[in-house]
Amino acid sequence: MDKTNVMRILDQRKIKYECFEYPHEDGVCVDGIEVAMLLDQDPNQVFKTLVTVSNTKHYYVCVVGVAHELDLKKCAKAFNVKSLEMIPVKELLNITGYIRGGCSPIGMKKAFETVIDIDAKEYDNIIFSAGKIGYQVKMNPNDLSKLIKVKFEDIKKEI
């Protein structure tokens, strides 16, 4: 398995993690629920990284379970801004250094304020992108909060 920048950062900081690889078509993003199934992991422990932009043109990162949708109003409140919207996919690489399906909260071009859904605190480990399609890392959410500045809040839409 190739090392991604996310894995290198975790190794440098001596933060414990596991890595997983799943099959995919080159450059084609895979739905998060499908990723959980391919890895034989609980979908409730698999999270996706989404990037938003505020009405003031600042960027914010949201990490939410793959089985859930992001509640932009809850996110705006968490970041103390008036409103948020998802950034256009075509801007993701330029802003974060990642492509759709391979976006990780670790190792972005710039450190953005990040909120992780409170559900992550229910688990000893969560799984999220290792910064490249086909690669995931599993680590303790508290260790993640030592690496990047995060808050844990309820940011998912109620079903």
List pLDDT tens digits, range 3-52. Answer: 999 999 999 999 999 999 988 777 666 788 888 888 888 999 999 999 99
pLDDT of residue 28: 64
Q: Give CA–CA dist 109/85, Å, rounded.
A: 20
The model's pTM is 0.93
Longest alpha-carbon distance in the chain: 43
Range from 26-40, 61-75, 89-103 carrying the lowest mean pLDDT: 26-40
- Domains in the chain, start-ordered, CATH in brackets? 5-153 (3.90.960.10)
Here the tokens at position 125 are 């480990």
Q: What is the pLDDT of residue 20?
A: 93
Helix (H, G, I), strand (E, B) or coil at 104: coil
Are 151 and 115 a contacting pair, CB within 8 Å? yes
Q: What is the pLDDT of residue 95?
A: 96
Residue 73 has pLDDT above 90, yes or no: yes
